[in-house]
Each structure stands twice: as C-alpha cells, then as structure tokens.
Structure 1
C-alpha cells in the first residue's frame, strides 16, 4: 500500500513540478512586465475571483464530495452504473455552472466591488477590473468540469494527466505575456482560452476508460443528490485557506497600491512547494481512504493517514524553513527585474516570511481533511473551518491596525500572518478530533522520526544562516550571481538535510512498508 502511494505521490509531484516551474516563468514575466502596478492589481483580483471558486468549489468541495461517492459506486457496482453517474454529474454540474457563469459575467462590477472594495476610489482601476473579470469568470465553469474529470481519472489510478493539466494555463499566460507585455487585457483572454483547453485535454483519457458519455441533467438522481448533500458543508470546510487568502485580498485592496500584488507573489512562492508536495500527497490518499472506508478497513485507513502525515512532515518542514530563511533571496532572484523594484522585493519578502510560518498548517489541513471526507463526514470540518476563519478575521484586523499604529512598513504582512495562524488552528482541531474518535492511531516510531527531523532541519538551517549573503547583496547582484548563489544554497541545504537523515538512520524503506 505505502509503496503504491509513494509512487503515485511521486508522479503527481513530478507533473506538478513542471507546472510550478512554468508558473514561476509566468510570474517572472508578470513581475518584469507589469510589476506591482494598478493594472496588475486589477488583473490579479479578476483572476483571483474565479480561482477562489475553483479552489473552493472544484478542487475543494466538489472533488472531496464526488470522489468518495464515485469510488464507492466504482467499487461495488457494474461499469454501466459508473458511466451513468459520470453522465448525470457532468450534465448537472455543467448546467448549474453555466447559469452561475452568466450571472457572474453580468454582475462583474458588483463582484469586483465585493472582492476588492478599495478599487472604488479609482474608477479607472475598477472599470478595468470588471472588464477583465468578464473574460476570466467563465474559467470557473471549465476548470470545475476539468476537476470532475480529474477525480474520475484519479479514482482509476491515473494521476499523471490531471497533474499535468495546469501546465496549459501557464503556457497560455506565458504566450499572452510574450505577445503583448503592455496590456493586461491579453492575460484575461488567455485565461478564458486555457479553461476550454484544460477540459478538452481530459477527454481522450476518459474515452479510453469508456467514461465519456453524453451529459444529461440528473438533479433528481439520488447519487447526484448525495454528492450535493456532501458538497454543501465541504464547500466551506475544505476551503478555509482560500477564504482566508480572499479576505487578505479584500483588506489589501484598502491598503497602498501594490499590496495585492505583493501578497500574490508571496503566495505564489509558497504555493510552489505546497502544490508539489502537500497537494500531491492529499490527492493520492483520498481515493485510497475512500476505498478503505468502503471496505470497512479501519486499520488500513489509519495506516494511510499515518503515512501521509509522516511524508508531509519529512518534506514540508524543510520546505517551510527554506521559504522563511530564503524569503528575500528567492524573491530577488525570481522577480526583481524591470518594473519590479527593490521596494517591491522587501514588501514581498515580509509577506512570504509570514506565509512560510503557516506552510505546515496549510499542508497538514490538506492531509487531514481527506480523513473526514473519505468517511463522508462533513459537519466537523465545517465547524473547525468556521472557528479558524473567524479567528483569522479577528487577527487580520488586529494585525493591520497594530501595524498602522506602530508605523510598520508592511501592514499587508499582518494579513499573511493571520492567514497562517488560522491554518494552524484548523489543522490542530482536525488532528485532535481524528485522534479522539480513534480514526487515526499513530504507528510506532514517531519519537525517533521526530528526533531525526529536528536534527536534519537544524543542520540545514545552520547552513543557510551561515552561508546566505545579506538581502542588500542579493538586490545589488546581477542575475547570474543570484542564480549561482540560490542554486548553491538550495543544493547545499538539500545535501545537508538528507545526509543528516541518512546519518541518523532514516531510509526510504521506512516509507514503503505497509
């Protein structure tokens, strides 16, 4: 079991790595061409609104609700019923999303005002944002259908195609920025085109499985109703991070111009390891947990959660530490060119350090949430998510107010810190409940595992602190020098980390044992 999960996580991680690398190329082009300008702020808000819906609805609530129901039907019923479920779900989902898309496009100015109230003081910026949103909002419909197709493929153990699909969006945006680096409108057109292409990219694999039927309206279908019943509470509970990030955008729109962009660039840097490692692990364990629950295999269910937690800690802790200690060097090396100046570097660095503090909180939530939804338990994550969001809102207002009162140069970093702390609150509540209910029972060896992690991360941190030049040196250096420095530090940190683990007795075989 663990060996198969490790292999699947590796496939998803590798495919996601390609997407994230292209995402960095995209963001570097954004920073160089548009910097942290008013136009870039407007486009990022116009992109964030459908992206918020994508992560909250498509990749969050819908996937978490659909995969367990689909896996149960796939495990216990004939192929004809599986095919019929795909047809009913796709038709119903597509119909509902088409209506939502129409309303969203018509109400673009209102949506922009709700999600970025600070733009109201600049009519030109608000008008541009609404125009861009009319092109980006349909992306929600296409990417939601893509997420459904990905859930089907993942349930059949086909992880590569869903994992590589996001590359299409990055390629479209890179091509658009290359064609016209003076106007952000072309970026919105690229988002629209990417949504269609991503959905179409899944069709050959679905057809090969015999699961590309003609969609039909299936609102009265009991299985579709079951998905919807599970999805509604998950819609909130699985998306705490996205709601927190959206609140950051709303509050950031009230701060100085550039705050939305600084938070975006910092979030993108954090999302790189989060997408490669944390989401990869969560993606591959959900179908396994759903199948184990359907077979009433409580021991295997707990063992899969244990494997997921150990794997995410092994990779996530050094990633979080590296993001914090190398926040300035990474921001400078990747973004400080042309329109992105030294001030933008410092502001983004503050935000990235705050997000890095919550990286493991975000990661643990990704791994723990499937432990509830694979069992079709939706109420508790909603309750915990509500507690985390309310706490984050209170902290966001408090931190921003305190920053202004103390004349801190980067009040937007307070928003990122509040989001990080809310993620830790959510992860703590989820973990504690799984333990209290006896769903998760830690396997032997956690003490030695923890000590090895502490030793390896301590050695890595010492190397980075001793060898990394000061931030001003990074700002003054050229591209070639920065590249040499950052590659050297990353290679050295990885070598020290894994060498220390090896010296302390940790082996890959520990993650292959069932």
Structure 2
C-alpha cells in the first residue's frame, strides 16, 4: 500500500474544497461581518452541516465500508450492490422523515441550537426560517455519504472527494453576484446550501453509474445487513463526529453573546483546512486499507499502516498548528479584515484560534486512530470515548464561558476534549495489542517538532517586519500573509530535511503506485 499517494489524491481535492471554503468565508465576513445576522445564518448552516461532516467525512463510512468491502473481497459483488440498494432505501426513508419532522419542530429545536436568540423575536424567527430552508441539505448529504462510501470501496477516491467543491462554488457565486445584503443575502445563501446538496447528490449518483454500479431505490426493508449497519453506524457516527458535536455544543452556547458564534466559526474554518486535508483524507484512505488487512489476519501490516499514517499526518499537521498558534492575529487580519469585518473582530477570532490550533493535532489523530476500531467493526468503544469528550467539553466550556475567559473558554474546552478523546483511543488500542508505536515513528516525531520550532522562529521575525514587507506587496495584508506563510513552509521543509524528519527517498517511495 502506498498510503501517502492515496491520501494525496483525496487531500489535494479536499484542499481545493477547503481553499474555496476559505474564499467563501472571506467573502461572507466581508459581506455580513460578525454580528447577529451572521450568527443566525451560521446557526442555520451549522446544524445540517454537522450531519454533512459526520456522514460525508468518514463516520457513516466507518460502518458501511467494512460491511460493503467485505462482500466485495468475498467475490460477492452482486450481493454488495444489493446491500447498497437496501441501505439507500432505508436511509432515504429515515432522512425524509427526519427532515419533515424538523420542519415542524424547528421553533422548539431552536431553543437548543440558538438559546441566545430566545427572547429576540426578529433573530429567532429568522433563525427558524433559515434552518428550515437548509434542512433538506441533511438528507442530500446522508445519501451522498453512502454513494461516496461505495465509490471509495471501489478505489474511486477522487470523485467522492471532489463533490464538496460544488457547495463552495454555489455559495461563492451568490456572495459575488447577489445584489442582496443583510437578511436577504442570508436567505439567498440558505437556499444555495440546499441547492448544492442536490448538485452533489446528482454528481455522485452519475459517478456510480459511470463506474457500472447500478444503484436504485426500492421499498425499505430491515434486512440483517441493514440492521447490522445501524448497530455499527449510530455509535460510529457519534464517535467519528465528536469534534463536530463539540463544535455544535460550544456554538450553541456562544449565541448567548452577540458575535461570539461568528468569531468561533471563522476561527474554526481556519483549522478545518489542515484537518480536512490531512486528518479526514487520511481517515478516508486508511479505513478500507485497514479493513482489508484485518480481514486477511495481517495484524503487523495493519499496525504498520497505522504508524505510517500517524507519521505522515503529524508531519503535515504540526506545522499548520504551529503557524496558527504563532501568528493568529496576523492570520485573522490578513484573511478576514475588510469591509464589514473589523480589526476588533480579527482580534477576537485570534483568541479562539490559538486553543483550536493546540487542539488540531488531537483532532487529526482522532481521525487516524478511530479506523483502528472501525476496521474491526467496533464502533461502541470510540462512541464511549466520544461521549466522555462531549461531557468534558460541555462542563469545561460552561465553566470557562461564564467565568473570566468568555467565548475563548469554549475553544479551550473543545481543544481539551479533543486531547482527552485522542488519549483514550490511543491507550485502548495499545492495551489491546492493536497498535504499538514503532522505532521509526518515535524517532520522527521529535525531529518534526524541532523543524516546527525553526518555522515558528521564522514566523515571529517575519510578522515583526510584515509592515515593511507590505509596502513592496501592493500594500496588501493578504498577499503579505501568503508570502510569510510560504516562507515559513520553506523553512519547515528545509529544517525537516536537515533533521531527518522527512527524507526525499521516503516521500518518493510513498508516492509511487503499488
């Protein structure tokens, strides 16, 4: 297995989606700023988007892929397609019922999703309306996740990874060309979210047909295979989506303070870029590979795959986390500060960005370690640890939010919960003899940290001279930020080669086809 090459395919396409997503957030910040309308729109977007991340970014596939791939590996392709059809029928029916129920229950659900809007008739009504409009996106993403799982099992990673690009293209188009502003712009964006769900579903369905996979919907039936999927899928969804559940919890609390939800969201989007490119891409590729090795009884090969996944993910994640924690105000200012988004908003975003950056390695490691359980059809253990993480996040978040730290305490709580969850996963895998860090991994990690320290020193110096540099870059803070970050990346690369954290021969070998 050439893990880095497969991860690179997913990572590049995920990077394209996340970069477009960052452009989307920059336009959103410039158009709406960080105020009550943005808080309301983000509430409407975040609830169905939570399910997109839980389903489409690995949680649904953590249960579906081992079952579907097991049938393929046994030579039962017709049975595998029949199983996929049964799952699609049950999934469509259940999600349709959930979406319809949510339309009627939304005024009451909003008490949990946006408690800060209660007692504010205007924002409350707008939040209910916009969330009702975006709810069909949940159903579309659930079905899209299943189709992505089918394509991933057949080695078609690129097609599935490209689908989220459609969401960003549609919303960017609205932000660029819609003449509306304020509440009307938020309304147009909410409609665009649901339309993008339809576009992604059509894209993936067409890809399945082009691959020769004839999927269709029939009368839903609770077959043994579907019941097994539900048994594995529900705890798996909770476990794999714990980071997003924690974000939803903290964001709901944040609606109590005007603008806090927006500040947390814009900080969240910055660390989601490396999380998506590294952690999610690695998890998507690692799960099918681990499932195949576990079924073949190749315990050592499975452990080796986990070690290489950890090594690669930390080599890519730690420099990103270092940059976010070292120059947070510079990053938030360069990316967001324009038009309706003020310099004070950028400072507030940076206060949440630092703890999120500290938690980033843990968030990525959760994505890498969880497949070690999912490949063995154990979704209950990660779910229990996820529940512990949510409890830590809620208790600590409430204590810090209503204490001296305010909204930044919510970000701190999310980071702490991530490290708690990650530690429990790692310790349990080790105790069960399913994973043991090898000599190569233990030797690489200190070198990666040393290379990151060199990069951090460069970034601090570069930030100090940023104003002087900006004069030569068309007085653009964004362009200055890009130049500084590229310089930091270059310093990290050189330091990684000098320390031996990365070796050209290893990278070339990992990128070759099997």
TM-score range for the pair, normalised by the shorter chain length: over 0.9
CA contact (8 A) 2:324 2:354 kept: yes
CA gap 1:33/1:479 in 2 versus in 1, 3 angstroms: farther
Of residues 502, 507, 513, the one that matches 2:497 is: 502
Alpha-carbon distance change, 152 to 251 in structure 1, aligned in 2, over 3 angstroms:
same
**Counterpart-to-counterpart distance in 1, 2:62 and 2:458:** 40
Partner residue, 2:393 = 392
Show the counterpart of 1:339: 340
1:254-273 to 2 correspondences below 5 Å? 254-255=256-257, 257-273=258-274
CA contact under 8 A between 1:119 and 1:125: conserved in structure 2? yes
Determine if the alignment matches structure 1 residue 9 to structure 2 residue 7. Answer: yes
What is the CA distance between 1:60 and its match in structure 2?
4.7
For residues 160-239 of structure 1, what are the structure 2 equivalents within 5 Å? 160-178=158-176, 179-182=178-181, 183=184, 184-239=186-241
1: distance between equivalents of 2:267 and 2:5?
30
Q: 1:29: which partner in 2?
A: 27
In the TM superposition, residue 376 of structure 1 has moved relative to its aligned partner by 0.4
> Distance between the aligned counterparts of 2:468 and 2:189, measured in 1?
33
Distance 2:351 2:284 in 1: 30
Aligned to 1:450: 445
Distance 2:470 2:263 in 1: 17
| CA 1:477–1:340: 2 relative to 1, 3 Å | farther
Per-residue deviation, 1:47: 0.6
Does structure 1 conserve the Cα–Cα contact (< 8 Å) formed by 2:40 and 2:126? yes
From 95, 107, 111, give the equivalent of 2:105: 107
Contact 1:333 1:479 in 2 (8 A): no
Tell me which residue corresponds to 1:463: 458
Deviates more, 1:280-289 or 1:104-113: 104-113
- The alpha-carbon deviation at position 468 of structure 1 amounts to 0.8
Query: How many residue pairs were aligned?
Result: 505
Q: Does the 8 Å contact 1:328/1:471 carry over to 2?
A: no
What are structure 2's unaligned runs of at least 5 residues?
A: none
CA deviation map 1:160-209 (0-9, x unaligned): 11111111001111112222340210001100100000000012221123
| 1:489 alignment partner, one of 484, 492, 502 | 484
Q: Report Cα offsets for 1:129-179 as digits up to 9, x if no partner.
A: 111111101100001111111111111111111111111001111112222
Aligned to 2:476, the other structure's residue is in SS state helix
TM-score (norm 1): 0.94
Distance in 2, Cα, partners of 1:347 & 1:101? 35
Distance 1:71 1:479, change over 3 A: farther
- Which structure 1 segments of 5+ residues have no match? none
Task: Write the mapping of 1:249-328 to structure 2, written as runs, cut at 5 A.
Answer: 249-255=251-257, 257-328=258-329
3-state DSSP class of the match of 2:218?
coil
Q: Does 1:41 align with 2:39?
A: yes
Instruction: Give 1:122's match in structure 2, choosing from 120, 123, 145.
Output: 120
- 1:98: which partner in 2? 96
Cα distance between partner residues in 2 of 1:425 and 1:91: 37
How has the CA–CA distance of structure 1 residues 61 and 449 changed in structure 2, closer, same or farther, with 3 Å as cutoff? closer
Partner of residue 155 from structure 2, selected from 137, 157, 173: 157
Structure 1 CA distance, aligned partners of 2:47 and 2:473? 36
Distance apart, 1:383 and its partner CA? 1.7
**C-alpha displacement of 1:471:** 9.4
Using the TM superposition, name which of 174-183 and 42-51 deviates more.
Answer: 174-183
1:426 to 417, 421, 426: 421
Aligned partners of 1:500, 1:441: CA distance in 2, in Å?
27
Question: Once the 2 structures are TM-superposed, how far is the Cα of residue 235 of structure 1 from its aligned partner?
Answer: 2.8
2-structure distance, mates of 1:369, 1:485: 38
Q: Which moved more, 1:267-276 or 1:46-55?
A: 46-55
Cα RMSD between the aligned structures?
2.0
The CA deviation at 1:474 is 11
Mapped partners of 2:472, 2:119: distance in 1 = 38
Whether the aligned pair in 1 keeps the contact of 2:167 and 2:193 (CA below 8 Å) is yes
1:87 aligns with 2:82: no
Counterpart secondary structure, 1:337 = coil
Structure 1 Cα separation of the partners of residues 128 and 187 of structure 2: 11
Answer with 176-185 or 96-105: which moved more: 176-185
Contact 1:54–1:143 (CA under 8 A) maintained in structure 2:
yes
Structure 2 Cα separation of the partners of residues 276 and 229 of structure 1: 29
Aligned counterpart for 1:66 among listed residues 54, 64, 67 = 64
SS in 1 for 2:464: coil
CA contact (8 A) 2:466 2:480 kept: no
2:134 alignment counterpart: 136
1:441 Cα deviation (Å)? 2.3
Question: 2:310 & 2:126 partners in 1: Cα distance?
Answer: 44
* Deviation readout 1:390-446 (Å, 9 max, x if unpaired): 11112112211321xxxx5xx111101100010000000100111111101222323
Distance 1:476 1:493, change over 3 A: closer
Q: Distance in 2 between matches of 1:485 and 1:177?
A: 25
1:47–1:133 CA contact under 8 A, matched in 2: yes
C-alpha distance in 2 between matches for 1:59 and 1:126: 30
Aligned partners of 1:460 and 1:493 also within 8 Å? yes
